[in-house]
Each structure stands twice: as structure tokens, then as C-alpha cells.
Amino acid sequence: MASNTSVLSIVGGATFALLVTVSLVLAYTYLTTLFKYELDVRKHPDHGSKIQVAQHPPLVPYAIPGLGSTISFSNQNIGVFWRWLRTQAERYQQDAFSIMLSGTRTHFIFSEAGISAAFRSRQLSRARLDQQLGTNVLGMSKADSLKAFPYDIDEKEKSTTARIHSEHLLTPNAVNSLTSKFMEVFLQRLDSDRSLDKGVEIDLYDWLWQNIFRSSTTALCGAKLLEMHPDFDKDYQTWEDGMLGMLFGTPRLFASESYAARDSAVSKLEKWLEAGYASSTGNQEDLDWEPNFGAKVVRKRHAFYKQQGLSVHAQAGFDLIFLAGILSNATPATGWLLLHILSPTSDPKFHPTIMNELRSCQRPDGSVDISVLTRLPLLNSAFHEILRLYVDLLVVRQVDSSVAIGHHYVKQGEQVMAPSWMTHRNPAFFADPEVFDPERFLKRDEETGKLGYSATGLGGKYFPFGGGHYMCPGRTFAKQEVLGSVAVLLLNFDIEFVEFAKRDGKQPVGIDKDATGFPGLKKGYAGNQVVGIEGDMRVRIKRKNHIR
Ligand code: HEM
């Protein structure tokens, strides 16, 4: 009995000692980082002054060594972390901060000059993050991931993905061919839906998502993929929801559904690739589109995979992330734009003015002239306003060698991040930044007096497609797809607002501040690119013209 008591008191004593040690370590870490922070924010408080020597941005204090500020950064209520950082920036007059993220000092740069400098820098690259994406998010082996995303930035420039994209995704021919395939499939889907003749009530975004998912996937990857795997959308959606968690290294135990969806999506793509390779005649190289592998850009990427000696499993992962460019960005952007146009909470002039513009690009046979469509001033302005408001992009770069980015000194091995939320919603750059203002990017031409769309002078302030070497190569196609879908729907259907709908009976998070019921921002980690839509709009939709 006596010896049991002494064992217990030894264990109790050891636990107590451990608790005291942990508390001391946490307190010591917090106080030393706080002290340094308070010194640093006072040392260079005014970025307007002529600072000669580049300085490390002040490091936000934290308590847990190793983990740093990872927990507050991982807040999944979109915008909360950025609002907090903005408060700090205003309080201390700073245009950059560092935070410790899982052991890596990460610099958040949000000044116009700093962001432009980051995009120009040759010392910043993305290979390490891409490789992490390869292994964690796409299920590649480490060896495949190294081959898929080579380290050397010059190698990459010579290497084929950047060149393939500039030749087969960005040129007017490539964009027009992708757009016309997308429009063809989208129109066929709408045409064959007989419920639209008499009119039907739908949850607009759910309905739109399915139609765009199938049309975009077919335009990019061919018809065979969805013929073989009609349920690919389910894996894709679950994978998409868990993508950033996997990227940041959430263990499988805590995200089993996301990892299972990743494995299932990759396995379906693998089967599709194997079937395509088996039936390929080899003479489809120059077709703009063919049913097995889809668009030319996809086939050119496949030639690159082969040249790199990538396994079919890794090739499938590469295809998955390529699809994400369009499915996880262009689709919610279309959703947000339509929701704002049709919402009774929008300016009553907005919808009729957009309709007037759209009629001007409709040909006598009812089809849409894409080249006229993409020049419509208000539609263009509204599209860019959607990207300003709903893109939560983290431009992430690793520091390959120590360098000054503007007046910020960053060291080899650290990371730089440029958060779009901080500049897109900076009141110094955009008046009333939280408000959706479809006319924000309209400017009057002094000579002609005409209103036109303009985004000049916004470098470093507005960058929904990133910038520099890695700037989104799908940006022109994305715009045509979004505007094309909106035009087809609004010109050919009567769409009447019924009510705002709450998805699965859940209250949307981030519901707009006037509590009108307008859909809110879907929860997720920072760096989503176009933020998902939580909630929906119930509408009555009825075909008005025969679509061709
Ligand atoms: C509204 C729609 C879209 C947005 C907001 C968007 C945004 C972005 C951003 C921010 C990047 C990273 C840039 C950087 O790190 O600096 C990116 C990369 C990329 N995007 Fe997009 N994107 C969109 C649509 C598309 C589409 C439609 C495609 C293809 C069909 C596409 C293909 C790609 C590819 C392949 C990359 C990787 C480029 C590289 O690593 O060199 N994107 N996109």
C-alpha cells in the first residue's frame, strides 16, 4: 500500500513537473516572440518612409514552438484571419508580416510594390509546394512528383508544361476551340432537358454545377471519361472539399473521406487513361478535340508525361489537378455572377442593363457571338468584380536564395505568400471593398464619352489569376466559359427568383451582413482561389427560345 502511494506520488510529481515545463516553454516562447514583435513593429513603422535596408517583416508572436501560428491561420471561416491581419497592419502601419507556419517562416506581403516585386523575382519559385501537392493532394509517389514538378525554374521554362500552355491553352485558336466545344456540350445538355420546356423549379447553383461540370470535363478530357465513370463528380466534389487540408498535411486519420475520394478519383482517371492509350490510333495528334483524350492541350500534356517517364498513376493525378483549374474556379465564378445578376438584393438596374448588353451579342439564329460577348463593358466589369470579391488566392513561393522583395528581406528556405484577400479588399485600393459593385471596373473614355471596362493601373493590387512565371494559363478560356454560360442561360431562359435556399437545411456561413439570405462563403482553408458557395437560390426556369 505504502509503495503504491509512493508510485502514485512519483507519477503525480512527474506529471506536475511536465505541466510546469510545458507551461514555461509556452510562456517563454510567447513572451520572447511578443517582445521581438513589439520591437520590430516599432523599428520600421512607416513603409512610406525611404527605407534603405530591406528588413525581415515582423514575426507575429506565437506560443507553440514548431507549430507557430498554424492554428489561427487554419481558421476555416474565410476572411477571418485576413481581417485580423489587416487590423494589425493598420494598427502598426505595416505592409507585411511573417508568421511561423509548421516550422517555416512565411512572409505575407500585401503592398502593391511588394506583390509586384514578388511576381518579378527569379529567386522565388513554387517547385516544393507543387511537389507537396503531387504527393499529398494527387497521390503521386515522391519520385513521380519530382519528375512532374522539376525544381529548377529555368528547366521549367524550357520544359514543356509552360510551353504547352502558352501554345495550346492561351492562344486565341486554342481558347476559341475550347470555348466552342464547351458551348456545344452545354447547349446539348440544356436542349435535351425536356423539363425546361414547361418550366421547373431548381436550386440554381446545384443545377448549374452539374451542367458545367459535365460540359467542362467533356470539353477538356473528352466524352469517354464520364461515359466510363458517370459518378466521377462525387469523388471530385469530396476531393475538392478536402484538397487544401491534404495539401497542408492533415493526416489520413483526420481526413479519411478526402483521401478515399482522392484515391478513387485518381483510380478512375487511371482506368480512363489506360483505355484511351489502348484504343489510341496515334493519328489524332492534331485534332482540336477527340472523344478519348479531349482537347489538344490535354494530349500535349500527355506527351510531356510520357517524356518525363511518369507512371500512369501520376499522369492521372496530373489530369486531376488540371481539371481543378476549370472545375473549382470557373464554375463557382459563374455561380456567383448569376446569383448576383438574378438576386432581388442587387441594384434593380443591374439585371436589365446586362440583358441589353447580352442581346447585342446574340446572332439572328439565337447563338452567341463570343468575340462581341467578351467585350461587353458591364459584363466584363461584373466578372472582374466577382473575382475581386470571391477569389481567396494565396500566391505561394519558396525562397530559393535570400533576396529583397521590395523593402522586405526574405531568406533562403523561407516562404513568401501574397494574399489576394488583403489587397482585393483594401479600402485604399477599392472604395467600399466589401460591397459587390458591378460597375467598379467601368471607366468613361474622355474622348468618346463612352463607358468601357478597364483594369489598368491595378498591378500588385488585383491579381485573381496570380502573376509572373506561374500566372494562370487558363485565364482567357475561363473568362469565355463563364461569360458564355451566363449569356446562354440568360438569353434563352426565363429565370425567376423564388427564394434563397439553405443547402441541406444548414444556415450558410458568412451569410451577407444584411441577413437577406443571399448565399455565403463556403468554409475552407485560406487559398481556395474562387471561394465555394454555401446556400443557393431557388428559381423557376423555363426555356424561351429554341437553342441551337
Ligand atoms: C476564374 C477562373 C480561374 C482562376 C481564378 C484561376 C486562378 C489561378 C491561379 C491563381 C493560379 C496560380 C498562379 C500563381 O501561382 O501565380 C492558376 C494556375 C493554373 N491554372 Fe488557373 N484559374 C482559373 C481558371 C483556369 C482554367 C479554366 C484552366 C484550364 C483550363 C486553368 C489552368 C491553370 C493551370 C494549368 C495552372 C498552373 C500553371 C503553372 O503551374 O504554371 N485555370 N490559376
Domain ranges of the chain: 2-43+53-113, 159-393+427-460+463-543
Q: Whose CA is nearest to atom 21 of ligand 1?
A: 472
DSSP E strands: which ranges in 115-227? 124-125, 200-203
Q: Please give the distance, rounded to the nearest whole angstrom, from the Cα atom of residue 479 to the centre of ligand 1.
A: 12
Taking Cα atoms as reference points, which of 289, 323, 276 lies closest to residue 179? Answer: 289
**CA pair distance 97, 85, nearest whole angstrom:** 8
| 448 vs 346: CA distance, rounded Å | 29
- Output the pLDDT for position 158: 52
Q: Which pLDDT score, from 0 to 100, does residue 510 have?
A: 47
Q: Using DSSP, state whether 506 is helix, strand or coil.
A: coil
DSSP 290: E
pLDDT of amino acid 490: 97
413 CA to centre of ligand 1 in angstroms:
25
Taking the centre of ligand 1 as the mean of its atom positions, its distance from the CA of residue 395, in whole angstroms, is 11
**Angstrom distance (rounded) from CA 56 to CA 36:** 12
| C-alpha span between 495 and 505 (Å, rounded) | 23
How many Å lie between the centroid of ligand 1 and the Cα of residue 326? 8
Query: How far, in Å, CA of 330 to CA of 225, rounded?
Result: 20
**Largest Cα–Cα distance of the chain, in whole Å?**
99
Helix (H, G, I), strand (E, B) or coil at 134: helix
Contact present, 501 and 520 (Cβ < 8 Å): no
Nearest alpha-carbon partner for 269 in 240, 209, 226, 306: 226
Phi, psi of 140 (to 5 degrees): -80, 155
Write the CB contacts of 533 (distance below 8 Å, at least 6 apart in sequence).
205, 332, 335, 336, 339, 519, 521, 522
Give 368's DSSP letter. Answer: B
Q: Which three cell numbers stand for residue 493?
A: 431562359
Residue nearest to atom 41 of ligand 1 (CA): 470
Q: Residue 69: what pLDDT?
A: 87
Task: Find residue 200's DSSP bridge partners.
Answer: 541
Q: Is 393 in the pocket of ligand 1 (CB under 6 A)?
A: yes
Ligand 1 pocket member 395 (CB < 6 A): yes
CB 93 within 8 A of CB 47: yes
Q: Is 472 in the pocket of ligand 1 (CB under 6 A)?
A: yes
| Separation between Cα atoms, residue 119 and residue 395, nearest integer Å | 9
User: CB 45: neighbour CB atoms within 10 A?
Assistant: 13
For the chain, what is the radius of gyration of the CA atoms? 25
Residue 55 backbone dihedrals phi, psi, to 5 degrees: -120, 155
| DSSP track, 348-364 | TTHHHHHHHHHHTTB-T
Q: How far does the centroid of ligand 1 lie from the alpha carbon of residue 381, in Å? A: 20
- Which ligand 1 atom is nearest residue 165's CA? 35
For the Cβ of 73 lying below 6 angstroms from any atom of ligand 1, the answer is no
The answer to whether 470 and 126 have CB atoms below 8 angstroms apart is yes
CA dist., res. 240 & res. 523, Å (int): 12
Q: In a 3-state reduction of DSSP, which class is residue 60? A: coil
Q: Which atom of ligand 1 is closest in space to residue 297's alpha carbon?
A: 30
221 is in an annotated binding site: no
Instruction: Decide: 418 in ligand 1 pocket, CB within 6 A.
Output: no
pLDDT at 513: 47
Identify the three-state secondary structure at position 397: strand
The atom number, within ligand 1, closest to the CA of 220 reads: 30
Return the pLDDT at 515. Answer: 65
Beta strands in 448-492 (DSSP E): 451-453
Architecture of domain 159-393+427-460+463-543: Orthogonal Bundle (1.10)
For 128, 165, 466, the CA distances from 118, given in Å and listed in that order, are 17, 22, 11
Containing 443, the helix (H) or strand (E) segment is strand 442-444
Predicted local confidence at residue 70, as pLDDT: 86
**Residue whose entry in the numeric block shows the C-alpha cell 451566363:** 486
Whole-number Å distance, alpha carbon 478 to ligand 1 midpoint, is 9
Q: What's the confidence (pLDDT) of residue 45?
A: 46
Sorted by sequence, the CB contacts under 8 Å of residue 114 that are 6+ apart come out as 95, 96, 405, 406, 407, 408, 418, 460
Note the pLDDT of residue 1: 52
Closest CA to 295 of 381, 175, 440, 410: 175
Question: What gap in Å lies between CA 460 and CA 312, rounded to an integer?
Answer: 39
- In the chain, which stretches have pLDDT less than 70? 1-5, 7-8, 44-52, 151-159, 281-284, 503-515, 545-548
CB 153 less than 6 A from any atom of ligand 1: no
Nearest CA residue ID for atom 29, ligand 1: 474
The answer, yes or no, to whether ipTM is higher than 0.95 is yes
